[in-house]
């Protein structure tokens, strides 16, 4: 791992980039004046797995900072540049990394930075009625002064000049649990194009986090997503702990790992069942959700709550695991483990499942790398990235577990990655319970955080979850940026749906395990 880190630094030094090792990941690169593209090119040459994790926009007073967070196989770099507020334009990077398209649109929406050469500019997360020229993440923005435009009464055309028919899925649709709109253009039964409109669940969490203390912030970021809430909490508190330079006690690390894996278990079981619902196999859905309930009970036993755990805090966890609970947890997990062979055999051999899932939504390895997808979607296409292995956090560095990779790249492969990860999660929890260190489970931390900034990554059930936190020396953060895994994975659906049958859209879509409350924030 260390070799690769040095490699990057050497390459960047050789090309005369201004670098600061150890800042914002492995290295921060100062690349003002249009040099951000050169820096990105240099990183792309180092490693085939180089991908843009996120683009953070931040109001710095007279300028707007644009930070490109780039991951390679085992290093993490941040390319920093600034643009003046009165003329915020920057050259696009979508020609180098197609997966950066959404990230650029978001920065344009929230901070008004125009990316010259973006292939499809337009409204992204803000409402349709949002007034022009108002950017919520700029510091001079006042929520009370927004004057929303009246809603548009224009009728949406359902056909286009070429005689193709537009099928609008959403915002309210039986197949979607969340409000989101996808306009699918079809020629007969074949999908020709998919136009997404996200932002129906945009609640402005990043802005709200700036007016909450760090402790309140934990509760706020947990409510970005009810499913992977502990992952959000972990990513946030770890970033704050990095700024505070707090060392969390080992017991807290193990307890956090257990909570995170319980989170993954319930999320994967949820999706595996939901996939059954989408292909019309409701029995499978009922089976999986029946077996998910004991995991919810375990979460309640360990954290005190069924869904939103609210168990993590800056400096550790809020509840200890009782010795008397450990046998109960183990018994429940053992019962779930017994059922896995049945489900595995279902996903591997059941003809109706295979017919609906195999060769549907196939994402090649090249496309997966180009689109910067993460988590089970990447691992289903043969890209072996997992933050738990690449940059171990909490107790993952000490716990042995397998990284699951399938190479088929289709819906079936993505679901099987999750199926196998269920078993790995059980192994991890059991190992963590057997090796649970003694001692304190939290340390006291100051309420006021010294000035600083940190980036942090966590492997959520859906993939790499990224946080950037900047503090300004008060009890309130200056900027909290969240990039969620579904945000990175949606381009995979938009790409693979084209050319397939309209009936294959639901299984393909659900195989991303989409979560829009995460995507929109």
Partner 1 sequence: MTNITTWARVKSPWVLHFNSGACNGCDIEVVALLTPKYDVERFGVKLEPSPRHADVLLTTGCVTEQCAERLKRIYEQMPQPKFVVAIGACACAGGVFAGNYSVVGGVDKVIPVNAYIPGCPPRPEAIIDGVVKLLNSLQQPAANKEEVKTDGKQ
122 binds partner 1 (CB under 8 A): no
Cα 512 to Cα 271: distance, rounded to the nearest angstrom: 9
Of 202 and 379, CB closest to partner 1: 202
Among 308, 340, 440, 475, binds partner 1 (CB under 8 A): 308
For tokens 């999908």, the residue is 191
480 binds partner 1 (CB under 8 A): no
Q: Please name the residues in contact with 324: beta carbons below 8 A apart, sequence gap of 6 or more.
A: none
Q: CB 298 → partner 1: shortest distance, Å?
A: 14
Instruction: Give the number of other CB atoms < 10 A from CB of residue 454.
Output: 20
* Beta bridge mates, 63: 84
Q: Which stretch binds partner 1 (CB under 8 A): 3-11, 142-150, 386-394, 451-459?
A: 142-150
**The two structure tokens encoding residue 221:** 């970021």
3-state secondary structure of 223: coil
Sign of the alpha-carbon torsion through 444, 447, 451, 457: positive
Among 7, 193, 246, 305, binds partner 1 (CB under 8 A): 305
213 binds partner 1 (CB under 8 A): no
In terms of Cβ atoms closer than 10 Å to its own Cβ (0-12, 13-18, 19+), residue 165 is middle
Q: CB 143 → partner 1: shortest distance, Å?
A: 4
| DSSP string across 379-410 | HHTT----HHHHS--TTGGGS--PPP--SS-S
Among 103, 459, 515, 519, binds partner 1 (CB under 8 A): 515
281 binds partner 1 (CB under 8 A): no
Q: What track of x and - describes contact with partner 1 for positions 227 through 266 (by CB under 8 A)?
A: x-x-------------------------------------
How many residues sit close enough to partner 1 to count as binding (CB under 8 A)? 47
| DSSP string across 338-352 | HHHHHHHHHHHH-HH
Among 82, 178, 391, 421, binds partner 1 (CB under 8 A): 178
Cα 482 to Cα 466: distance, rounded to the nearest angstrom: 6
Q: What is the DSSP letter of 113?
A: -
Of 226 and 451, CB closest to partner 1: 226
Among 220, 329, 492, 510, binds partner 1 (CB under 8 A): 220
**Best CA proximity match to 108, nearest among 78, 129, 80, 136:** 136
**The two structure tokens encoding residue 82:** 């600034």
Cα 323 to Cα 341: distance, rounded to the nearest angstrom: 30
Of 247 and 293, CB closest to partner 1: 293
Q: CB 469 → partner 1: shortest distance, Å?
A: 18
226 binds partner 1 (CB under 8 A): yes
3-state secondary structure of 437: coil
168 binds partner 1 (CB under 8 A): no
476 binds partner 1 (CB under 8 A): no
201 binds partner 1 (CB under 8 A): yes
Q: CB 428 → partner 1: shortest distance, Å?
A: 23
383 binds partner 1 (CB under 8 A): no
3-state secondary structure of 17: coil
- Note the residues at the interface with partner 1 (CB under 8 A): 126-130, 136, 141, 143, 146, 148, 151, 171-172, 174, 177-179, 199-205, 207-208, 219-220, 223-227, 229, 270, 285-286, 289-290, 293, 296, 305-308, 515, 517
């Amino acid at each position: 791992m260390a070799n690769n880190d040095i490699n990057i630094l050497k390459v960047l030094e050789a090309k005369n980039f201004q670098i600061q090792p150890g800042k914002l990941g492995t290295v921060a690169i100062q690349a003002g004046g249009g040099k951000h593209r050169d820096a990105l090119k240099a990183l792309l040459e180092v490693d085939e797995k180089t991908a843009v994790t996120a683009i953070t926009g931040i109001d710095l007073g007279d300028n707007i900072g644009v930070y490109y967070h780039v991951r390679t196989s085992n290093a993490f770099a941040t390319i920093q540049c600034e643009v003046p507020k009165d003329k915020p334009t920057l050259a696009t990077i979508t020609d180098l990394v197609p997966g950066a398209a959404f990230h650029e649109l978001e920065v344009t929406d929230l901070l008004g930075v125009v990316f010259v050469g973006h292939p499809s500019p337009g409204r992204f997360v803000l409402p349709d009625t949002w007034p022009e020229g108002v950017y919520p993440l700029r510091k001079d923005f006042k929520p009370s002064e927004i004057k929303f435009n009246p809603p548009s009464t224009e009728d949406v055309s359902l056909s286009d000049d070429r005689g193709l028919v537009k099928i609008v899925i959403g915002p309210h649709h039986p197949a979607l649990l969340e409000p989101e709109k996808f306009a699918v253009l079809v020629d007969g039964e074949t999908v020709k194009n998919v136009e997404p409109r996200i932002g129906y669940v945009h609640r402005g969490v990043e802005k709200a986090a700036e007016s909450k203390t760090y402790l309140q912030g934990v509760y706020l970021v947990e409510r970005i997503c009810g499913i992977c809430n502990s992952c959000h909490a972990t990513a946030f508190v770890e970033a704050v702990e990095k700024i505070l330079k707090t060392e969390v006690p080992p017991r807290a690390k193990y307890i956090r790992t257990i909570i995170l894996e319980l989170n993954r278990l319930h999320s994967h079981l949820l999706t595996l069942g939901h996939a059954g619902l989408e292909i019309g196999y409701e029995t499978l859905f009922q089976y999986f959700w029946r077996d998910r309930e004991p995991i919810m009970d375990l979460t309640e036993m360990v954290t005190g709550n069924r869904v939103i755990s609210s168990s993590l805090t800056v400096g550790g966890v809020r509840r200890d695991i009782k010795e008397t609970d450990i046998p109960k947890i183990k018994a429940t997990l053992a019962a779930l483990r017994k059922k896995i062979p049945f489900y595995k055999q279902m996903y591997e051999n059941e003809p109706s499942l295979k017919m609906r899932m195999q060769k549907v939504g196939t994402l090649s390895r090249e496309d997966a790398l180009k689109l910067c997808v993460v988590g089970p979607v990447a691992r289903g296409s043969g890209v072996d990235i997992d933050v738990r292995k690449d940059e171990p956090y909490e107790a993952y560095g000490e716990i042995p577990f397998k990284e699951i990779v399938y190479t088929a790249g289709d819906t079936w492969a993505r679901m099987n990655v999750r199926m196998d990860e269920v078993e790995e999660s059980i192994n991890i929890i059991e190992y963590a319970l057997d090796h649970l260190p003694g001692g304190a489970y939290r340390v006291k931390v100051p309420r006021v955080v010294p000035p600083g900034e940190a980036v942090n990554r966590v492997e959520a059930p859906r993939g790499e979850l990224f946080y950037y936190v900047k503090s300004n020396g008060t009890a309130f953060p200056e900027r909290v940026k969240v990039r969620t895994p579904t945000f990175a994975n949606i381009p995979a659906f938009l790409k693979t749906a084209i050319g397939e049958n309209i009936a294959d859209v639901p299984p393909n879509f659900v195989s991303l395990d989409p979560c829009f409350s995460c995507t929109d924030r």
